[in-house]
Structure formats: structure tokens, C-alpha cells
Chain A
Amino acid sequence: EAQVTQNPRYLITVTGKKLTVTCSQNMNHEYMSWYRQDPGLGLRQIYYSMNVEVTDKGDVPEGYKVSRKEKRNFPLILESPSPNQTSLYFCASSTRQGRGAFFGQGTRLTVV
């Protein structure tokens, strides 16, 4: 079954404690992205990657890092989380041909 898998689904952490949200896809897609979803703001892109070792900033990259060492994985790293990063996060992947992105189930992060 084609899917994008995020872990964890839920996470509560404290300000300043580094965390990583993992994302893995099994569709051999070149493109992967991270979005955050906030009420009234829709989904905003954090970072995207066009292939292994190729990443670029999206709309709201401040406070986030990503890496793409393998084609299937695209982890999101928060080096020093702050309360304003409390949000619902989605990972997505798509083909080079630009067919619609597949989204993961989401990770609800709360930073206290």
C-alpha cells in the first residue's frame, strides 16, 4: 500500500528540548515536503526536498531543519522548540512529474 508514514503521531515536549519527527515514504518519490497546519492559516510549507541531498526553504523555515540522506526518509528537526511551534505537522511526497502530493497522517506537536 502506497503511504507516507510519520512518527510520532502525538508529541508533547518542553521548550528547548531537541526533537525529530520522522517521515518515510514507500513510493520512490523524488519530492518530499513538510507543512504545518494552523487554524485560519491553512497549510504552510516549511521545507522541501527535490531529491537526496537537495533541500530548500519553504514559506516558514525558521526554527526547523531537515535532511535528506536517503530517498525514502525526510526527517524534520526542531533544535530548540518554542511554544509558537505548537502545531499539526504533515509530511508529503510526490513524483517528479508533479502528480498530486500524498500526505502522511500528521503529527500533533505541543511545546510547553
Chain B
Amino acid sequence: QQQVKQSPQSLIVQKGGISIINCAYENTAFDYFPWYQQFPGKGPALLIAIRPDVSEKKEGRFTISFNKSAKQFSLHIMDSQPGDSATYFCAAGAHGANNLFFGTGTRLTVIP
């Protein structure tokens, strides 16, 4: 059973547009929600992470929005660029960064 549900499976966005990827979870013990970016042939790399005591975290063009009551969180990529084309994974963990449960991934393509 998938502990973290991610959508959409794939996403095509025009350059300069906003990319939005959504994730939902059920386990209320989760207290750490990272997003990972993976380029072909590479391992996932941490992009941004949030803890449930805040509703939003922004780093450059990347923003996590967190809705604790709905048990949902999302990644927004503002001013999307072709270099952002990659697979994005959301994840959740109950004990810091260890023992993470990952979503199934979203393949983002940003077209010029």
C-alpha cells in the first residue's frame, strides 16, 4: 500500500509557467516532508523539505505548500525552465530523513 500518493504521473509545462505537483499521506506520525529531484542516470537529490509546523517554505523558485488538516503537500515551481525537466519525488518520514516513504514520482517536461 502506497503510504504517499503523488500526482500527476507526468506534467508538461511551458517555459515560464508554474509547475504544480501534489502529494497526500495518511500517517499522522509523519513529521518530515522532503522533495527530491532526479535527472536521468543520477540519484535523487534533495530539493527542499518542510516540517508540519509551517504551512509554506520557499527556496528560490521552489515552494512547498503544506496543509496539515488535509494531509496534503505540494511543490510549486515558479517560472519553470527547461533545466527543471526531471522526475520529482515527494516523500514523508516519521524519524527525520531516515526510513522515508516515497511517492511514485512525477516526470516534468518544460518545453521552450
Interface residues of A (CB under 8 A from B): 4, 31, 33, 35, 40-45, 48, 50, 58-59, 90, 92, 94-106
Query: Do residues A101 and B6 form an inter-chain contact, with CB atoms below 8 A?
Result: no
B98 neighbours in A (Cβ, 8 Å): 31, 33, 48, 50, 94, 98, 101
Taken together as a complex, chains A and B put the C-alpha atoms of A44 and B102 apart, in Å, by 7
Within 8 A of A (CB), among B84-112: 89, 91, 93, 95-105
Nearest 10 Cβ contacts at the A-B interface? A98-B96, A103-B43, A100-B46, A94-B97, A43-B102, A42-B104, A42-B102, A31-B98, A101-B97, A98-B97
B101 neighbours in A (Cβ, 8 Å): 45, 59
B2 neighbours in A (Cβ, 8 Å): 42
Chain B interface residue count, Cβ-Cβ cutoff 8 angstroms: 26
A44 neighbours in B (Cβ, 8 Å): 102
Residue from B42, B44, B45, B95 within 8 A of A98 (CB atoms): B95
Closest to B4 in A: A42
Query: Do residues A43 and B44 form an inter-chain contact, with CB atoms below 8 A?
Result: yes
Q: A42-B105, A98-B95 are contacts. A103–B100 as well, Cβ < 8 Å?
A: no
Closest Cβ of chain A: how far from B25's Cβ, in Å?
13
Taken together as a complex, chains A and B put the C-alpha atoms of A104 and B38 apart, in Å, by 11
B42 neighbours in A (Cβ, 8 Å): 105-106
Taken together as a complex, chains A and B put the C-alpha atoms of A25 and B84 apart, in Å, by 27
